[in-house]
């Protein structure tokens, strides 16, 4: 706010809320006001939950997932197929695949993509961890589920090279028409891929 | 999340973030992940700021504004014109008018509008506080700046009745074309009001 009409505590709260993805300067003001009005129902519990997260959440030393235990609930779940590792860029991708619930496999979170321009090299990603998990034995397939972007595909090629000499099958997600998608709105690359990978009806 | 893949602390955080205006279930997940990744830079400071707000923010007993001091910074500012009170529905309206910075007046926050269907009567709003502020003397004008909705205008009429016997000028915000607005996109009511209140060029 240009003129100082609220105490510094409220201004600080608004400034910090504006940094949360999904909130901008305008909605941060609205959010702050709502939180202050709902002190008991929302501001209090949210403060406690954030304090809990701050204290307890850690990165899984095995797969790079985020959880309150290490190894994370997925890594330590004996009902999961330990022979298959799904490789993702980010924890949000892991969550998305888990919501789909299509496979009961293990995961490995890279923590980004190779990006020489931004100074992100192989050592900045969790690639060595993947290689040593495969080297331990017991893994028969690595499913590369990085984003279908240039950076994602570059990273996929690099990882594939690192695993080349190991006795493990490397697969990747299929390209094609999204379920429920309309052809008219799809790009040429997706349509070409969908045609090339056509299946018997 | 349908399947339990994160600790209850993270799930709780996502659930509570989803209740913040501007965030939904999907963006709450993204926000939670971002907060956890930026522990030192964002989650920590935001938790502290929310704890501060929880502890220190109170409603001004004089005008209904929200601040960390009571009376609030606006009420206790001697440079403000104490003879003019701008009546608003909500603290967010007060902030909006202060951002415009057009008047250096006092404020009075009603805390809503009369709404018999929702069970909001005159005693649920901060109307008595306004009447007693005017009765104290020294106030020459009350500017009614409630929203231009049916509920807002009903409330405005009620407040005007309460102040009718007092020696105070009651005014309201002008209706007209928003600055920068295109006529083509405006409703008939606004255009009619703008024509009726036309001014010399």
pLDDT mean over A36-60? 94
* pLDDT confidence of residue B1: 42
Residue A57 sits at the chain B interface (C-beta within 8 Å): yes
* CA dihedral for A112, A114, A117, A119, sign (positive or negative): positive
Backbone dihedral angles phi then psi of residue B87, each to the nearest 5 degrees:
-95, 120
What's the pLDDT tens digit per position in A8-45?
889 999 999 999 999 998 899 999 999 999 999 999 99
What is the chain B residue with the closest CA to A70?
B7
Note the pLDDT tens digit of each residue in B64-109.
Answer: 999 999 999 999 999 999 999 999 999 999 988 988 888 899 999 9
Which domains does chain B show, CATH number per domain? 8-56 (1.10.8.420), 79-172 (3.40.1360.10)
CA B111 – CA B126 distance, rounded (Å): 6
A21 touches chain B (CB under 8 A): yes
What digits encode the pLDDT tens for the residues B23-68? Answer: 998 899 999 999 999 999 999 999 999 999 999 999 999 999 999 9
Residues of A in contact with B9 (CB under 8 A): 49, 52-53, 56-57, 68
Confidence (pLDDT) at B28: 94
Inform me whether the C-beta atom of residue B10 falls under 8 Å from chain A C-beta atoms. yes
């Amino acid at each position: 706010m240009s003129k100082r009409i609220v105490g510094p505590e409220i201004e600080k709260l608004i400034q910090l809320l504006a940094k949360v993805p999904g909130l901008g300067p305008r909605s941060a003001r609205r959010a702050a006001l709502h939180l202050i009005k709902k002190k008991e129902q929302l501001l209090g519990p949210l403060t406690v939950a954030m304090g809990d997260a701050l204290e307890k959440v850690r990165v899984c030393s095995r797969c790079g997932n985020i959880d309150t235990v290490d190894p994370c609930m997925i890594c330590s779940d004996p009902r999961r197929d330990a022979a298959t590792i799904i490789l993702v860029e980010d924890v949000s991708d892991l969550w998305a695949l888990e919501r789909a619930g299509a496979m009961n496999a293990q995961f490995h979170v890279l923590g980004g993509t190779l990006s020489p321009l931004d100074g992100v090299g192989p050592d900045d990603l969790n690639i060595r961890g993947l290689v040593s998990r495969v080297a331990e034995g017991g893994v028969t397939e690595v499913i590369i589920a990085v984003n279908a972007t240039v950076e994602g595909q570059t990273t996929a090629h690099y990882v594939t090279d690192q695993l080349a000499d190991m006795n493990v099958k490397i697969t990747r997600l299929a390209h094609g028409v999204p379920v429920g998608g309309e052809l008219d709105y799809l790009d040429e690359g997706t349509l070409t891929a969908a045609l090339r990978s056509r299946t018997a009806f």
